[in-house]
Structure 1
Amino acid sequence: MKTLNRYIFSFLTATTVLGFQGCDKALELDALGGIEKEAVFASEENVKSLLNSVYTVIGSQKWNSGRNQQFNDLLGDEFFGAQLGSTKGEVYNRNTSVFNDDTKAFHKEPYFAIQRSNQVLDNIGIVSAAFKDNAEGQAKFARALGHFDLVKLFAQPYNTNSDNSHPGIVLQLTVSTESAVARSTVKQVYDQVILDLKDAEAKLPSQNGNYPTKWAAKALLARVYFQMNKFTEAYNYANDVLVNGLSVRNQNYAQIGFTELDYADRFSVAGSKESIFEIVNEKGLSGRSDSYRALYKSEGNNPEMKLMNSFYTANTSDVTDKRGIAWYVKGISADFKLLKKFDVQNFTTTLIHFTEMKLIRAESAAETGQNLTVGLADLNDIKSRAYGTSAVLLPANASAALLRDQVRVQREKEMIGEGDRAQQIKRIGAKGEASFSRGVVWNCNGMILQFPGSEFNLNPLFVKNPEGGCN
């Protein structure tokens, strides 16, 4: 997502309070320019500046330039974290504490974007009619993305219990200075995320330059509904995107030549042909994807994110699988292997893509027992891209159960390093299936992160997550 240089600014200092709950809740923005708070809401141009700054936060190293992906991947079963230091090691060992500075920094970052979005919405009246819907749609898309990414890591998943009344996160929906605010339930958080995304879907245009479109909102809705195990809704939204939607580059799915796409396309300098929402690595912004690359890159043979030997073997043993050559490196250690999916310097960070939509549509078809022909075609397209003429395709009479199982295998292969695996382990467990990550059950205490102490030290209404890890 490109943030134009002329729009980069800060309208607050680190000590200005804009409504975070509890101690240490000031909106701590980097000082990038000289527009005073009062001036921000005096013109449409300055509101646009504020809205643009949201994408700087979304693409920051504390959120989607690696940290969100890393924390999710460390909770999963594909990566080897035994050599990590204390803070990242806590995540890998599923026992984060209230003193963990890395999880604290991650927890703050989406709220920065949420609060900036709330400021835009609170001042939407000064925006011209020509841009008003677009501005509101972008703000609600960003607010939904922030709440969704937070609730997945800091709360047990949707369907953990029948009414989803278990604690979620604090919903930040207004510009407020109230300090004592309780956590909303998981149901309340998901309901709000869906409401925001449906508003964004209605208000955003089909084409929007480098900014979110209605197709990005629909694709994120497909992801949200899939995480909720609401397969009819997930299928419908993924299907809409694949049949009618446009990529960031204004091409529909039929135009991108999916089965012939090179695997280097997903994280490339120019940006992926299948990207629906992305963070552009704009020249002059000191490399937005640098942090992501540094965490996962195979260069140097010792990144923080190392692959399990078992996962490497499972994904490289078939020499006809093009992903094995494109994404994996044996390295020099007997303890772990390496991922080169993110080795390209200054790549554009793809956050939502057509492959994920095909995976969602195919598994949702299998789960509902409806549209199996479409689901089978999606799986076979993914396999044809990976294995070429050697692909073993499923026949038209394949069962829904076989389709589901094979889609899950392909999902794990396709989404490696994109922060997806732990959430699938949780989703499958919440659906009622046996589901484990490195030998521990999907909903043990340590499979979610602990909140930083600043959340509840001065907030009597805030209840922290249970202690005890997964022992």
Structure 2
Amino acid sequence: MKKIHILILILSFGMFTACDSILDVELDDEIKTSEAITDIISLRSAVIGLYDIMQSGTYYGGEFILAQALTGGIADATGFQERFAQLDKAIIPTSSDYIKSSWVDVYALVNASNLILEKMAELNLDDENAKASALFFRALGHFDALRQFGQFTNSSSVYGIPVVTKYVDSESSGTIARATVAESFGQIITDLNAAIALFDYDDDRYFVSKATAEALLARVYLYQGNYPMAEQLASDVIGNNDYALNSRFNDIYDTEGSDEAIFELQFLGTDGNSLTEYLATSPPEVSANYQDFFRDMDADDDPRSFRFYDTGRVVYVDKYGTSDNDIEGNAIIIKLSEMYLIRAEARARQTPTNLVTALQDLNKVRTRSLPSRPILIANVPDFNAFVNALLIERARELAFEGHRWFDIVRLGKAESILGIPAFRTVYPIPQREVSISKGVIVQNPQY
């Protein structure tokens, strides 16, 4: 998909196209909302289109997942792509191709969701699952924007994100200023709660459902710092009999839609992922970091290391396929082991001087792979030691699934691990967006 300014979108039965820049887009090229969704059939096609946006090679189908591993320090840029080299150093310019495409992706998801919601109201279309899905994806788009471009760890910060709750066209897209962090979280949580109220439980792993929204809300509450609610939502999902930890870690990659999967983004031969293009070529554009990630995991004979292949020069990532022609590996968006790790952290945050129950959850995940090596209370004498242990488990369990950068930022470790100044723990807003908005969208401090 070519690149396009934040919200100049063309929607036709759920499919999106774009032009190279805002200057290439004529207003006549925009399909009016009345032509995009006219009945239940086109409404449901538009909902499927939301999954299509997520599949973009610059979103969950590729670069979004790679970016968080690169800036998080568990991946290396081993090819020739400048955008990956910038991410590898966690020194990202305002002209970065990655942040420009990511900004477009997240707001494409938001704007398409808004179109669905508005047309449902306008045409009085009654489909609770479609409405719930649009609310879920609007929340996800805003959340992915906030945790990349907003100061999400500071609840009192004014540097949130543009919160867009109406379908916008080229004339109005540049008039929406950044909300505060608290306001940004508020809209995300409101949308997810509304989705939960509308969704039914469904054990289909390839489409979002009530449990998917509960799981995402648990993640959102954890990032927000609402630890009691993060614990409660994670517990709700853990207690759902539709899901269970697989007996072996690697089963989730060997069997699509396994018991542990809560939401997998499914790729087929006709709409394959871009991950193997970057991870499985020779040499790969992106590989796993040996010194700070793979070495210790491999030395432990941890089964989680079996999804990586050390050639002695680079460490290939085999989570999505072993050749660049193998493009049907699903992206694991949410899985049950993450819920145990969320609950472990939420419990530790609430009782930092009593880590017993937090360790029980952490070990539930760890001992699946290392049954003879649980973390003992003596190994984590204080909360900081627990955080260090948690980061290791989260890295091994969730590597190259879009979490690492957010984890080290959220847990206050990015500066020490990466040796970067504090302002770089937030990605810059693409300068193009600041310029096009004529300063309505304010840049992050020190960029």
- Offset at 1:447? 4.4
Are residue 191 (structure 1) and residue 182 (structure 2) matched?
no
2:334 paired residue number: 352
Pairing of 1:329-340 with structure 2 (within 5 A): 329-333=309-313, 336-340=314-318
* Contact 1:373–1:396 (CA under 8 A) maintained in structure 2: no
Please give the per-residue CA displacement for 1:14-36, whole angstroms capped at 9, x wherever unaligned: 58xxxxxx9569799x99xxx98
* Contact 1:72–1:422 (CA under 8 A) maintained in structure 2: yes
Equivalent AA in structure 2 for residue 41 of structure 1: I
Instruction: Name the stretch that deviates more: 455-464 or 272-281.
Output: 455-464
Distance 1:135 1:383, change over 3 A: same
Are residue 436 (structure 1) and residue 416 (structure 2) matched?
yes
- Offset at 1:396? 11
* Contact 1:100–1:452 (CA under 8 A) maintained in structure 2: no
- Offset at 1:182? 1.3
Residues in 2 aligned to 1:24 and 1:151: alpha-carbon distance in whole angstroms: 27
Pairing of 1:339-378 with structure 2 (within 5 A): 339-343=317-321, 345=326, 346-369=328-351, 374-378=357-361
Distance 1:411 1:329, change over 3 A: same
Distance 1:302 1:404, change over 3 A: closer
1:311 paired residue number: 293
Please give the per-residue CA displacement for 1:35-92, whole angstroms capped at 9, x wherever unaligned: 9853433211111111111110012112101211112222112122375432222222
Residues in 2 aligned to 1:39 and 1:64: alpha-carbon distance in whole angstroms: 28
1:200 paired residue number: 195
Residues in 1 aligned to 2:83 and 2:15: alpha-carbon distance in whole angstroms: 32
Distance 1:222 1:332, change over 3 A: same
Are residue 114 (structure 1) and residue 99 (structure 2) matched?
no
Equivalent AA in structure 1 for residue 75 of structure 2: F
What value does the CA root-mean-square deviation take over the aligned residues?
3.2
Q: What secondary structure is seen at the aligned counterpart in 2 of 1:202? A: helix
2:259 paired residue number: 273
Equivalent AA in structure 2 for residue 286 of structure 1: D
Please give the per-residue CA displacement for 1:190-215, whole angstroms capped at 9, x wherever unaligned: 11111111111111111174321111
Distance 1:400 1:459, change over 3 A: same
Equivalent AA in structure 1 for residue 304 of structure 2: R
Instruction: Name the stretch that deviates more: 89-98 or 101-110.
Output: 89-98
Give the ranges of 4+ consecutive aligned residues of structure 1 lying more than 4 Å apart after TM superposition: 10-15, 22-28, 370-374, 395-400, 402-405
- Offset at 1:135? 1.5
Corresponding residue to 1:163 among 153, 156, 161: 156
Distance 1:447 1:84, change over 3 A: farther
Residues in 1 aligned to 2:228 and 2:149: alpha-carbon distance in whole angstroms: 26
Corresponding residue to 2:398 among 384, 395, 415: 415
Please give the per-residue CA displacement for 1:331-381, whole angstroms capped at 9, x wherever unaligned: 131xx4333233253112110000100101112112212996543332222
Identity of aligned residues (%): 25
* Contact 2:262–2:336 (CA under 8 A) maintained in structure 1: yes
Corresponding residue to 1:286 among 263, 266, 271: 271
* Contact 1:358–1:378 (CA under 8 A) maintained in structure 2: yes
1:43 paired residue number: 39
Q: What secondary structure is seen at the aligned counterpart in 2 of 1:69? A: helix
Residues in 1 aligned to 2:440 and 2:239: alpha-carbon distance in whole angstroms: 46
Structure 1 stretches lacking a partner, 5+ long: 1-6, 16-21
1:3 paired residue number: none
Pairing of 1:121-136 with structure 2 (within 5 A): 121-125=117-121, 126=123, 128-129=125-126, 131=127, 133-136=128-131
Instruction: Name the stretch that deviates more: 176-185 or 445-454.
Output: 445-454
Q: What secondary structure is seen at the aligned counterpart in 2 of 1:305? A: strand
* Contact 2:428–2:443 (CA under 8 A) maintained in structure 1: no
Distance 1:121 1:128, change over 3 A: closer
Q: What secondary structure is seen at the aligned counterpart in 2 of 1:70? A: helix
1:4 paired residue number: none
Corresponding residue to 1:426 among 390, 406, 409: 409
Distance 1:88 1:11, change over 3 A: closer
* Contact 2:59–2:102 (CA under 8 A) maintained in structure 1: yes
Residues in 2 aligned to 1:403 and 1:446: alpha-carbon distance in whole angstroms: 22
Residues in 2 aligned to 1:180 and 1:458: alpha-carbon distance in whole angstroms: 6
1:54 paired residue number: 50
- Offset at 1:434? 8.3
2:93 paired residue number: 97
TM-score (norm 1): 0.80
- Offset at 1:458? 4.4
Are residue 383 (structure 1) and residue 366 (structure 2) matched?
yes
Count of residue correspondences: 424
Are residue 392 (structure 1) and residue 374 (structure 2) matched?
yes
TM-score (norm 2): 0.84
Instruction: Name the stretch that deviates more: 139-148 or 374-383.
Output: 374-383
Structure 2 stretches lacking a partner, 5+ long: 1-10
Distance 1:208 1:362, change over 3 A: closer
2:4 paired residue number: none
Residues in 1 aligned to 2:108 and 2:268: alpha-carbon distance in whole angstroms: 21
